[in-house]
Amino acid sequence: MENLRFNFDEDSFNKLFPFYILIDSNLKIKGFGKSLAKTFPSVKLNDDFSSTFEVKTHFVENPTFDGIKSIFDQLVILRTTSDTVDLRGQFQEHNDCILFVGSPWFISVNQVSERKLTIHDFAFHDPLIDLLHVLKTQEITTQELKELLIKINNQKKDLKNDQDELNRLSLVASANENGVVFTKPDGVIFWCNDAYLKLTGFSKGEVIGRTLIEVGKCEYTNKEDLKKMTGLFFKGEMFDVELIHGRKDKSYFWTKTKGQPILDSVGNVIQYFAMIEDITEKKNSNFKLVESENRLSLFIVNLQTGIILEDENRKLLLANKKFCTMFDFEGDPDNFIGIDCSNSVEDSKRLFKNPDLYVERLNKIFKSNEPVYNEELELVDGRFFERSYIPVFRDGIYKGNLRSYVDITIKRKHEELVRNEKEKYSNIIANMNLGLIEVDENDRITLANHSFCEISGYTSAELIGKNASSTFLSEENKVLIENKNELRTRGVTDSYEVQVKNKKGEKRHWLISGAPNYNINGKIIGSIGIHLDITEQKEQEERLYLLSLIAEKNINSVVISDVEGRIEWVNSSFEKISGYTKKELVGVNPQFLLQGVETDPETTDYLKNQISKGQPFKCEILNYSKSGEKYWVKIQGQALYNKKGEIVRFFSIEENISDKKLLENQREELLESLAKTNKELEDYAQIVSHDLKSPLRSIHSLISWIKEDSDREFSDQTLKYFSMIENKVEKMDHLIEGILTYSKIDKEEMVKENVNTHQIIQSIVDIIHIPKHITITIKNKLPVIKADRYRIHQLFQNIIGNAVNYIERETGLVEITSEEFDNHYVFSVKDNGVGIAKEHHKKIFNTFQAYTKSEDSTGLGLAIVKKVIDTYNGEIWIESELGEGSTFFLKLNK
């Protein structure tokens, strides 16, 4: 995604923001969206923006380019001078122009149709589309219901006519665009019109003689709808149902099927008349309407803006969760729908710092029914809300209002913090010991602190508005400042010295650190300069000769060379260590004189490059003295500059580190020797482990044979002693195995692979002995990590085995969980065992440390765990109290 860029031509941009306006720096309209042109046909290119539009909120009198920039990124309302439709949106900066993006606010569907707009004239993300859909659909649905009611009533009257009238109506039925069928009392069709045949795809021969269900039933037809229709049919009653009707080609369509019985003079059903209307398109529209309403409702319910919608009688139509939270209403917002909100203003005024003003203002808003945006309210608990009020009209008639509340407490606190920081910054500037001034792009002084006034001799009032260069500098130095100001326009910061005149005409030397000054939009608007009067320091330059004496007596070697790296001066320490005299060294590049066969060429190249670039250098290098003796030196050096910022020399100090290098070589030899010793110890551990285990196995076998051959000849006490010997032998075997495992943990090469810790722990639970009274639970899905599978198995087997061994309760429980962080995972193993006293928490991970009476403990299990954790640079800790169980936490990096 780093290289992804969005490029829009005018048509593409128009699809996203069809009501945009582009304004140049002279407030001339240079472009606008196609939909805006349809909405405001009087707007033309190159029209004056302020003559065509007025900014209602936030109000800007006599708009200017800078005036409009001041309200960037804020919601604004625009109205044309010749139209009553408002535009809502935001101003943004775009290539030295101003771009307005937004949409119109229509209060009725009529306003949209009057301007010949369609849904394609709005951006797909514009929430006004859904609202217009809802309003229009409600109007259409109401009209259709009225028409349908009239139609049904007329049909009832027609059905009461005699058979002759029915025959005459058959001519009308034949021409009806809806399907019409006549059936016998048993439901068999004896007549249908062409529209029905066209809807179903059947021929008349395939329809006549069959029932409506036999013709129309398909796999998608709802059985309950059929049952409802047939039930009313056989009762001789009229029916009106919506159901799915099949076609001959196996497709289907939604129908509104209305049936009416035809009665004889005594009230018996002699025929049935049914009208089948294709309502597929209407159904799809209803589905889309429901989806749109659900989407809009979900959006409003989950908004982080408090929303309340009332009808014209102050009955609550909608309130979202955020509104209820903001105004301390408990319960589901849906439970409040329909309540009378007439007294809500009085009920809620207690929350506001100025309750009477709150009530008075809100009543005034209700009375005027004019939109209000972003009014600020202060609450008694210190919070701040922004309130907006939007009246809802339909065909010019007030239908209710929508109010929104935004909690801006954090924004207000941030503004307060910024204000305090600005005041603190101003105080620091005013009282700092260094002189500070700010100048604009024309070098006019816009700010000067107290210290600058002191070093210049002028008051702040005398300096503000004056040209800084003309006030303080000679003609020669003015060129320098012009060059520095040009650097500021490119964002460059630097320091330099300049000679100036103060108010008294005295010549002074100032050291200036200059930097560009930016506005809140990141644009350079001038420069900031920190000034230090160094006149006294300049007068002391003659005394710098003393420094040469110090350099001469320095125990380290001191070298001064020219810009080409040729030696100009060395101190006596350099002569002593190199064996060369000053006369032999001056004019020579030390590379050719001091470096030999074993000198590292990379270090030599590094010194060349740093000196050629004029940059500081620091390194260690092997040199040769005049007698050919090798010695190591640590070199630190940097360039020396004149007043013009030009490199004139290089200065370096060389420390003799030959003894240090000798110690480093000895250390490396010791490390090699230690590694060899460790390898020998590891081999020895393997041999000892094998030699110790062999007699242990023999002892165990001999005891078993003795018990098998002579168990009846031994007393119970003797057999008990034999069992104790066997247990001790097994414990000795476990101890040897633990020692061997512990010694090998950090010696073996680690294998990095994807290890599923969930599977590892499940396999451990399956293979280790777990008493019946203990339950092990994995609380969540454990992660996959990069590690050595065998070591992770060792780690968790020891920690889980440790937990199982020390549970003495009747019902034991071990819980294993993990939690993911940005760079690591934390596993926890919790048990309800005997627990560990706090004074032992740090000792339990030491080898051969056991704080329990268990005979199974070798004192190595947790030591092995700690060593594995250390191998992976992880952490392990415990939370436990005696008798309360323990929780071990293991941190492993991703």
- pLDDT tens for residues 11-59? 888 888 898 899 998 889 999 998 888 888 888 999 888 888 888 876 6
What is the CATH number for 645? Answer: 3.30.450.20
Amino acid at 337: I
Q: Please, are residues 213 and 227 in contact by the beta-carbon 8 Å criterion?
A: no
Same domain? 753 vs 889 = yes
What residue type is assigned to position 547 of the chain? L
Q: Which residues pair with 861 in a beta bridge?
A: none
Mean pLDDT of 538-545: 62
> Which of 288, 420, 419, 311 is CA-nearest to residue 366?
311
Residues 6+ apart with CB under 8 A from 8: 16
Cβ–Cβ contacts within 10 Å for residue 164, how many? Answer: 8
Q: Which residues contact 262 (CB under 8 A, 6 or more apart)?
A: 159, 163, 166, 269, 270, 271, 272, 273
Q: What is the mean pLDDT of residues 532-542?
A: 77
Using the predicted structure, report yes or no on whether residue 703 has a pLDDT greater than 90: no
Instruction: Provide the domain count of the chain.
Output: 7
Our CA angle for 872, 874, 880, nearest 5°, is 140
- Tokens linked to 352: 């506001």
The model's pLDDT over 296-321, given as tens digits with 9 standing for 90+, comes to 666 666 778 899 899 999 998 888 88
Residues 255, 384 within the same domain: no
Please identify, among 634, 656, 678, the residue that sits at the C-terminal boundary of a domain.
656
Q: CA nearest 452: which of 512, 538, 537?
A: 512
Residue 285 within any structural domain of the chain? no
Q: How far apart are CA 621 and CA 561, in angstroms?
A: 18
Are 85 and 39 within 8 A, CB to CB? yes
Does the residue 819 lie in any domain? yes
| pLDDT range class, residue 190, cuts 50, 70, 90 | very high
Domain boundary among 378, 412, 446: 412
Nearest to 121 by CA among 106, 100, 137, 138: 106
- Supply the angle between the helices 861-871 and 789-805 in degrees, to the nearest 10: 150
Distance of alpha carbon 209 from alpha carbon 189, whole angstroms: 5
Mean pLDDT along residues 451-458: 92
If asked whether residues 549 and 651 sit together in one domain, one would say yes
Distance, in Å, from the CA atom of 671 to the CA atom of 677, rounded to the nearest integer, reads 10
d(CA 805, CA 169): 94
Does 281 have pLDDT greater than 80? yes
pLDDT bin (cut points 50, 70, 90) of residue 133 is: low
Indicate if the pLDDT at residue 81 is higher than 60.
yes
| Cβ atoms < 10 Å from Cβ of 540 | 9
Confidence of residue 137 (pLDDT cuts 50, 70, 90): low
Confidence of residue 445 (pLDDT cuts 50, 70, 90): very high
Same domain, 751 and 885: yes
- Domain membership flag for residue 463: yes
How many Cβ atoms sit within 10 Å of the Cβ of residue 789? 14
State residue 694's pLDDT score: 60
Q: In this predicted structure, what is the pLDDT of residue 1?
A: 45
* 249 in the same domain as 354: no
Amino acid at the residue 255: T
pLDDT attached to residue 755: 92
What average pLDDT score do residues 597-624 get? 91
Same domain? 236 vs 376? no
What per-residue confidence (pLDDT) applies to 602? 93
Helices (H), 355-492: 355-368, 409-431, 450-456, 460-463, 468-472, 475-489
**The predicted structure's pLDDT at residue 215:** 92
Give the CA dihedral 285, 289, 290, 295, nearest 10 degrees: 140
* Rounded distance between C-alpha atoms, residue 558 and residue 652, angstroms: 6
Residue 784's CB is within 10 A of a number of other CB atoms, namely 15
Q: Which of 147-151, 280-284, 737-741, 847-851 has the lowest mean pLDDT?
A: 847-851
Q: Is residue 119 part of a domain?
A: no
Within a domain: residue 117? no
Residue 205, CA atoms < 13 Å, CB-side half-sphere: 0
What are 456's two structure tokens? 């210049």
Nearest to 256 by CA among 286, 236, 235: 286
Which tens digits make up the pLDDT trace of 861-876? 788 889 889 888 899 9
384 and 473 part of one domain: no
Closest CA to 548 of 535, 560, 563, 562: 560
Is 2 inside a domain boundary? Answer: no
739-779 pLDDT, tens digit per residue, is 666 556 555 556 688 999 999 899 888 878 888 899 999 99
H or E element in which residue 694 lies: helix 658-710
Please state, rounded to an integer, the average pLDDT across all residues of the chain. Answer: 83
Segment 380-406, tens digit of pLDDT: 999 999 999 999 998 889 999 999 999
Cα separation, 517 vs 429, whole angstroms: 15
- CA torsion angle 67 70 71 77 (round to 10): 0
Is 612 in the same domain as 711? Answer: no
pLDDT at 747: 53
Give the CATH number for residue 805: 3.30.565.10
**CA distances, 173 to each of 150, 833, 860 (Å):** 17, 87, 97
Count of residues making up the chain: 894
pLDDT, tens digit, for every residue of 573-596?
A: 899 999 999 899 999 988 888 988
Higher per-residue pLDDT: 780 or 115: 780
DSSP3 helix / strand / coil % (the chain, rounded to 5): 45, 30, 30
Compute the average pLDDT of residues 75-100.
Answer: 84
Whether residues 760 and 861 fall in one domain: yes
Q: Which of 60-69, 679-688, 723-732 has the lowest mean pLDDT?
A: 679-688
Range of the domain at 683: 663-736
If one compares 677 and 351, the residue with the highest pLDDT of the two is 351
The mean pLDDT of 490-511, rounded to a whole number, is: 90
Q: Is residue 393 part of a domain?
A: yes
Whether residue 549 sits in one domain with residue 529: no
Q: Per residue, what are the HEC states of 475-539?
A: HHHHHHHHHHHHHHHCCCCEEEEEEEECCCCCEEEEEEEEEEEECCCCCEEEEEEEEEECHHHHH
Same domain? For 668 and 759 the reply is no
How much of the chain, in percent, has pLDDT values that exceed 70?
81
**pLDDT of 68 higher than 90:** no
Per-residue pLDDT tens digits for 149-171? 677 666 666 655 544 555 555 56
Q: Look at residue 102 and tell me whether its pLDDT is greater than 70.
A: yes
Task: State the pLDDT at residue 211.
Answer: 93
More confident residue, 258 or 546: 258
How many other CB atoms are found less than 10 A from the CB of residue 239?
18
Percentage of the chain beyond pLDDT 90 is 32
pLDDT for 889 equals: 96
For residues 445 and 578, membership in a common domain is answered with no
Give the tens place of pLDDT for each residue, 325-339: 888 888 888 888 888
Please provide the DSSP assignment of 118-135 as one string.
Answer: -GGGS-TT-THHHHHHHH
Q: Output the six-digit token pair for 587.
A: 């004019």
Greatest pairwise CA separation for the chain in angstroms: 145
In a domain? residue 212: yes
